Structure 1
Amino acid sequence: MHRAPKACDFAMNDQVSHEYALTCDQIQVMLHQEETLYACFSNYTRRNENIPENAPVISEAWRQKICEWAFEVVDHFDYDRDIVSQTMNYLDRYVSYSADKGVYISRKEFQLAAVACLYIATKMEGSHRSFQRQTPPLTISTLVELGRGIFSHKAIELMERRVLAVLGWRMHPPTSFRFILHFMKLLNNSERRKLLPKAITDSMHDASRYLSELAVCVSSLSIECKPSTIAIASLLNAMECANPDYLNWEVRDSFLQEVSKVTNICTESDELLSARAALKSMCPAMPTAEHNDVRECMESGSSSPVCVSGSTSTHTNRKRNFAST
């Protein structure tokens, strides 16, 4: 027997429509930001003919070490792991902008800049926390202690001001994980929400976040690719892990069409396929439809440059000083 719609049904549909429109607007704003204020810049880890032979070049390995250190510090001090994405965005832009002006920084100055960028990123988190802090916040004095006195309080403060000036105080980059959060809202719209168990969407969230964090450590992905590209690539790879009984091709195609419509990004573009291949090569143990325990895969180690799964139980109690990096 057909049930007549109730007033609450219309109210719920209105609410869903409003949330969907808001999500689309937020994605559009972030896409505009990554194309303009936070556009891709030159990869300073690659030496080219424009760089003088005697100029120092920050290597890929050195950048990765700094990124790993940032993840460990963020975990220890109980910050959101997306802060590392912000930190590396600040750092990459600072070094790249400096190089474009003919200023090439040394490894030690790179370390100092990384410390300042991490400090700025933790301050930017501010009061936007959804949970109670378990440890004291990170301070300059703590950073001086972590560095065993390599950098003074004054040196970190001066570098902080220099980074802010070089970046023109543009400190809210759209990160790949923020894109993932918004794309997941599209997946969870009213129609698909009925079809997808929470366990499936949670696994997709964990797997895509895991992959996006891997990308932060690699300059060719973090610097040369747009955050939206990394986000979509991470989600597509994560979708391959989901149980096909729930996330079937119809649901996947509907979601991909939705993402393409909102972002105007072709999910079969060369850039996106290249990013997906790079992420797969970094995480060959990513589960398939036959083996879909995402957390087991993430905790198995795979080929990750640092443990970046959603679970921090294996490394939250470590505090690594950067004097040893």
Structure 2
Amino acid sequence: MILPHAFDLADVKSAMEGMCVQQMAYQCKYYLKDSKQASKRRSMLLSCFHTLDDCRFTLETLEIAASIVDRYFASKDGTDLASKADSSVIRLVYMTGLYTAIKVAEPSCVSPYMVRLWAGRQFSEDEVTAMESRMLQAIGWRVSNPTVTAFVQHCMALLTDEFLVVPEDKTDFETIATYQAALSVLDHSLLNVEPSVIGLAAVKNALGEDVDYAADYITMVGDLLRIDPWSEEMEQTQSKLEKCEA
């Protein structure tokens, strides 16, 4: 078994094809109106990042939380709320998105009370549950988005020894790519870039100098994802990922 749900490379490829279709249902339009909103988004997601890190949750959960929050703010209800809400309400949205993402992705859940503590008691437990219901309705209850991390994991499952100069380096490559995948949510300009594109960009960055040796692998994955791995868009995405820092 090379992934929890895949027993061979054919299963991996089939799963990736399904993820490419599924990601279309989670597309988010670019909703940020100015640099102030973009800065606030980054600040809030960094807070979520550190909360997850402190609690030893996976960073992939940050991607799910960001998707929930971004799609909510891109909705009519979210746009209306953002236009008249103060910073505490905006924080409530982000903390609620994180709360929901943890329930979806982690083996252990947290309570609304814990979310209240994370936010410095700025809002009540009832406000957390009420906001969750409001957000879920606005995004059509879609909370299982294919993450960049998931694309990275599937891409790496296809990276067999024949494509590597030193096969033992694969673990390091996957660690680097997975970390870049999680941090990709911090760059607002990647908000409406498909996770499949960002995932392959992270893999290419992780391969570093070995990317030329693995050119056939990169091309094969690009064909599978139906994207051009050597395009200008890919190069721009790689550059943005390299600048993402927590």
Return closer, same or farther for 1:146/1:178 CA change in 2, 3 Å cut-off: same
Given residue 26 of structure 2, which amino acid in structure 1 is its aligned partner? Y
Is 1:261 equivalent to 2:229 in the alignment?
A: no
* Corresponding residue number in structure 2 for 1:157: 129
Residue by residue, what CA displacement relative to the aligned partner does 1:104-151 show, whole Å, maximum 9, x if unpaired? 343332211111111111111254xxxxx7xxx532111212223211
Q: Paired residue for 2:195?
A: 227
Higher helix share: 2
Aligned to 1:68: 46
CA distance in structure 1 between the partners assigned to 2:51 and 2:81 by the alignment: 29
User: Gapped runs of 5+ residues in structure 1?
Assistant: 1-11, 48-56, 128-132, 242-246, 284-303, 307-325
What does residue 275 of structure 1 align with? 237
Q: Evaluate the alpha carbon distance shift between residue 278 and residue 82 of structure 1 in structure 2; reply closer, same or farther with a 3 A threshold.
A: same
Provide the C-alpha distance between the structure 1 equivalents of 2:211 and 2:118, rounded to a whole number of angstroms.
49
CA contact (8 A) 2:92 2:123 kept: yes
Report the count of equivalent residues: 240
| Aligned-pair Cα RMSD in Å | 2.4
For residue 38 of structure 1, the aligned residue among 18, 26, 40 is: 26
The partner residue of 2:212 within 249, 258, 271 is 249
* Aligned positions of 1:289-300 closer than 5 A: none
- For 2:133 and 2:36, the matched residues in 1 are separated by 22
**1:46 CA displacement:** 2.8
1:211 to 152, 167, 180: 180
Q: What TM-score, normalized by structure 1, do the two folds share?
A: 0.68
Q: One-letter code of the match for 1:80?
A: T
Alignment gaps of 5+ in structure 2: none
Within 2, Cα distance between the matches of 1:150 and 1:208?
A: 36
Partner of 1:117: 97
| SS of 1:59 mapped into structure 2 | helix
Q: Distance in 1 between matches of 2:182 and 2:63?
A: 8
- Partner residue, 2:60: 82
1:266: how far off? 0.6
